[in-house]
Amino acid sequence: MKLIIANWKMNPETEFEAINLAKASDVSGLIIAPPFLFLEEVKHSLKNAKLAAQDLFWEKLGAYTGEVSAEELKSLGVEYVIVGHSERRALGETDEMVAKKVKAASDAGLIPVLCVGESAVERASGLTEEVVTRQLLSALELLKSLISNSLPFIVAYEPLWAIGSHNPATPQDVVKVLQCIRTLLKHLTLDLSPFVIYGGSVDALNAHDFLKEKEIDGLLVGGASLKPDQIIRIVEISSLF
């Protein structure tokens, strides 16, 4: 089975729209990541899709204004959490912060969706594998708890230049990077069988090209997930494989 995750990012503007979007996209096989603010109402609107958060903080509770903990997310019925999205890294999130978030998520029993990916400049300099390896190794540093919990673990390869650009990576390029991620995990002799997925300008028209590759375990979808007909079509396509 392939994984399809809808990352709504900072959309939509109102709770009313969020509820409507959730109801219109509520199919099994889909994991929806709405903004924190709408998690509870979206949860109540869903009968089939599962719930993800877009971020978390690594402390359990205390004086951390504006932050949200793994435990708080869990108490709302959240099952997955996106960690280290490039849009957060661009705002100053470091590899070390990402590692702490992955650990906090796994300690609380949330399934982390760890995002890795290179920028256009790094890609042009031939640094894709180096960047992805660095991001992965540092996030894995604290991961012993994940292994002992034997929780699923998701790595999302999202090259920055492909996000929101209508310029997706080619399935062949994605397969190469995903193979590198799997090899790296194997070499670390970690007993993980991760799902490795792709994100970046995926829509209902190109989803088939990615999903037909057996190396690609699923898709992380941004813009197209705000259009129910698109995301439902992507889930339908994923069920073919």
Active site residues: 85, 158
Complex with ligand 13P: residue 154 or 163, whichever CB lies closer: 163
Question: Please, how many CA atoms are within 13 Å of residue 241, restricted to the half-sphere of its CB?
Answer: 20
Rg (CA), the chain: 17
As separate numbers, helices (DSSP H) first and strands (DSSP E) second, the chain gives: 11, 8
Complex with ligand 13P: residue 145 or 206, whichever CB lies closer: 206
Minimum separation from the CB atom of position 33 to ligand 13P (A): 8
Complex with ligand 13P: residue 45 or 201, whichever CB lies closer: 201
Q: Which residue is nearest to ligand 13P (CB)?
A: 222
Which of 179-204 are b and which e, b meaning 16 or more Cβ less than 10 Å from the residue's Cβ?
A: ebbbebbeeeebebebbbbbbbbbbb
Complex with ligand 13P: residue 109 or 164, whichever CB lies closer: 164
Complex with ligand 13P: residue 29 or 200, whichever CB lies closer: 200
Minimum separation from the CB atom of position 4 to ligand 13P (A): 11
Positions that interact with ligand 13P (CB under 6 A): 7, 85, 158, 163-164, 199-202, 220-224
Report the Cα–Cα distance between both ends of the chain, in Å, rounded. Answer: 7
**Sign of the alpha-carbon dihedral angle for 234, 209, 79, 34:** negative
Nearest Cα neighbor of 169 from 204, 199, 203, 213 is: 199
- In angstroms, the CA 221 to CA 198 distance is 9
Minimum separation from the CB atom of position 164 to ligand 13P (A): 4
Nearest Cα neighbor of 228 from 2, 11, 27, 80 is: 27
Minimum separation from the CB atom of position 54 to ligand 13P (A): 8
Minimum separation from the CB atom of position 100 to ligand 13P (A): 20
